[in-house]
């Protein structure tokens, strides 16, 4: 063992003996686990209801034929990603101590899509639970021009309602029932809905222009995925796994063997019908031998900073764009963080894209996604 290895082992030993750590979990962690168990415990009831509701139904695009709406759980399963952050509604009333700003839900929970912060111990979570749950002392109210129910739950109060294809549950903690009711009843719709595409277009106008004639190569996800692989990744031999169904649609791409550490590169594409009969790529993530990866993006004014997992890349092409205008930079080693200065204000939805290259310049992986207008930070 050489000197560096021995010192690393010493470092580990020092951390074992010298680092002071608590021996008890935090109370907040216990509360969060109890909440998860409560939601999971009602899944059996929800499954029975789902089977009883029937499994066969058809959607129609015709304005004259409207099939009955399936139960909320089924609708939620159809289009889960459309119910995420940012919200397409906002409050006009907030309880005392709340600032009214919707913040993205914590990474620890996949169905707390947004959180409104109050003072210590008070918050309102906007959730999209995958299963039903029980309320007690239920009353009917109206939210966003539709029916809703308000009731008591284990740790507070909740309001449940359906909106488009989403089933929302607002959970209020540390606030009276009346305050949650006023909050829910005061919600108003944000229009227009944020555009969800990354490629070929990253904003609504260009996508509408491209799709208004309903071209065949945009009506289904597979041709769009194929075009992305050819035109963006420049792969000429590849395999597309389209076994996943639904909207959004995930397509796994096994690319050609890259002459770089014997790694077989592949990426995962997420596609969505962003407009009627108009599919787009909304996200691309790198997978493969080094596991899935992602990027951190920050937008402040005209400055975009993108951090990413280099995953052994020799270089990378980093791009950010809004409404068809694109800025590109090249990373060639060092800290994998790139700063782009836009010559325009990001006033529309946009996108970012990172192409990772091996020493031969071959793009072996990609990371990319959508950006909202204005300042932004995520990752």
Partner 1 sequence: METAVRIGQGGGRFAELYAAHGRDAVRLGYLLTGNAADAEDLAQEAFVRLLGKFADLRKPESFRTYLMRTVTNLARGRARRRDVERRHAGTLAANAGGIVEPPDLGPRYELAAALDRLPYRQRAALVLRYCEDLSEQQTAEVLDTSVKAVKGLVARGLASLRGQEVRR
Q: List interacting residues with partner 1 (CB under 8 A).
A: 2, 4-5, 7-12, 14-16, 18-26, 28-30, 32-34, 36-37, 40, 107-108, 261-263, 289-291, 294, 296, 298, 300, 305, 307, 309-312, 335-337, 339, 377, 379
Residue 97 DSSP code: T
Least distance (Å) between residue 298 CB and partner 1: 5
Quote the tokens at residue 184: 């829910």
Nearer to partner 1, 28 or 137 (CB): 28
Burial class (CB in 10 A: 0-12, 13-18, 19+), 275: buried
Strands 376-378 and 295-300: what pairing? antiparallel
Least distance (Å) between residue 371 CB and partner 1: 14
Nearer to partner 1, 173 or 183 (CB): 173
Least distance (Å) between residue 375 CB and partner 1: 11
Quote the tokens at residue 244: 């996943």
Strands 295-300 and 278-287: what pairing? unpaired
Nearer to partner 1, 21 or 136 (CB): 21
Nearer to partner 1, 161 or 364 (CB): 364
Nearer to partner 1, 211 or 353 (CB): 353
Burial class (CB in 10 A: 0-12, 13-18, 19+), 251: buried
Terminal alpha carbon distance of the chain: 38
Task: Say whether the peptide bond before residue 200 is cis (omega within 30 degrees of 0).
Answer: yes
Least distance (Å) between residue 345 CB and partner 1: 18
Strands 303-308 and 295-300: what pairing? antiparallel
Nearer to partner 1, 50 or 337 (CB): 337
* Beta carbons within 8 Å of 374's beta carbon, 6+ residues apart: 299, 346, 347
Helix axes 27-41, 43-53, angle to 10 degrees: 30
Nearer to partner 1, 289 or 345 (CB): 289
Least distance (Å) between residue 296 CB and partner 1: 4
Residues listed for the chain: 379
Evaluate whether 354 touches 379 at the Cβ level (below 8 Å): no
Name the helix (H) or strand (E) containing 35: helix 27-41
Evaluate whether 186 touches 144 at the Cβ level (below 8 Å): no
Least distance (Å) between residue 64 CB and partner 1: 46
Nearer to partner 1, 272 or 351 (CB): 351
Query: Quick one: how many helices (H) and strands (E) in the chain?
Result: 7, 21
Nearer to partner 1, 12 or 55 (CB): 12
Least distance (Å) between residue 270 CB and partner 1: 19
Least distance (Å) between residue 146 CB and partner 1: 31
* Beta carbons within 8 Å of 11's beta carbon, 6+ residues apart: none
Least distance (Å) between residue 228 CB and partner 1: 25
Which candidate, 336, 344, 292, places its Cα nearest to that of 320? 344
Least distance (Å) between residue 190 CB and partner 1: 27
Nearer to partner 1, 24 or 140 (CB): 24
Determine the Cα–Cα distance for residues 223 and 281; give it in Å rounded to an integer: 11
């Amino acid at each position: 063992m050489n000197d560096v290895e021995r010192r690393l082992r010493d470092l580990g030993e020092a951390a074992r003996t010298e680092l002071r750590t608590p021996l008890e979990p935090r109370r907040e962690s216990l509360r969060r686990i109890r909440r998860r168990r409560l939601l999971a415990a009602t899944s059996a009831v929800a499954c029975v209801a789902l089977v009883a509701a029937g499994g066969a139904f058809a959607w129609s695009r015709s304005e004259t034929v409207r099939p009955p709406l399936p139960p909320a759980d089924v609708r939620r399963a159809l289009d889960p990603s459309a119910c995420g952050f940012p919200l397409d509604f906002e409050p006009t009333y907030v309880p005392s101590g709340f600032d009214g700003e919707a913040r993205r839900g914590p990474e620890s929970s996949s169905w707390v899509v947004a959180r409104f912060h109050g003072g210590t111990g008070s918050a309102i979570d906007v959730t999209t639970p995958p299963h039903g749950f029980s309320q007690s002392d239920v009353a009917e109210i109206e939210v966003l021009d539709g029916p809703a129910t308000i009731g008591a739950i284990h740790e507070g109060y909740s309001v449940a309602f359906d909106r488009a294809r989403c089933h929302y549950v607002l959970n209020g903690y540390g606030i009276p029932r009346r305050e949650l009711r006023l909050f829910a009843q005061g919600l108003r719709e944000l229009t227009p809905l944020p555009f969800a595409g990354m490629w070929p277009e990253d904003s609504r106008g260009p996508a509408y222009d491209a799709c208004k004639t309903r071209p065949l190569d945009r009506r289904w996800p597979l041709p769009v995925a194929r075009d992305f692989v050819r035109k963006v990744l420049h792969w000429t031999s590849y395999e597309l796994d389209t076994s996943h169904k639904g909207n959004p649609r995930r397509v796994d791409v096994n690319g050609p063997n890259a002459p770089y550490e014997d790694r077989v590169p592949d990426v995962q594409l997420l596609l969505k019908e962003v407009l009627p009969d108009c599919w787009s790529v909304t996200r691309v993530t790198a997978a493969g031998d080094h596991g899935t990866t992602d990027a951190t993006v920050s937008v402040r004014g005209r400055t975009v900073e993108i951090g990413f997992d280099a995953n052994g890349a020799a270089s990378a092409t980093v791009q950010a764009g809004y409404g068809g205008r694109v800025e590109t930079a090249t990373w060639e080693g060092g800290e994998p963080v790139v700063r782009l200065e836009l010559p325009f204000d990001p006033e529309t939805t946009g996108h970012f894209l990172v192409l990772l290259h091996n020493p031969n310049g071959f793009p072996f992986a990609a990371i990319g996604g959508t950006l909202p207008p204005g300042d932004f930070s995520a990752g």
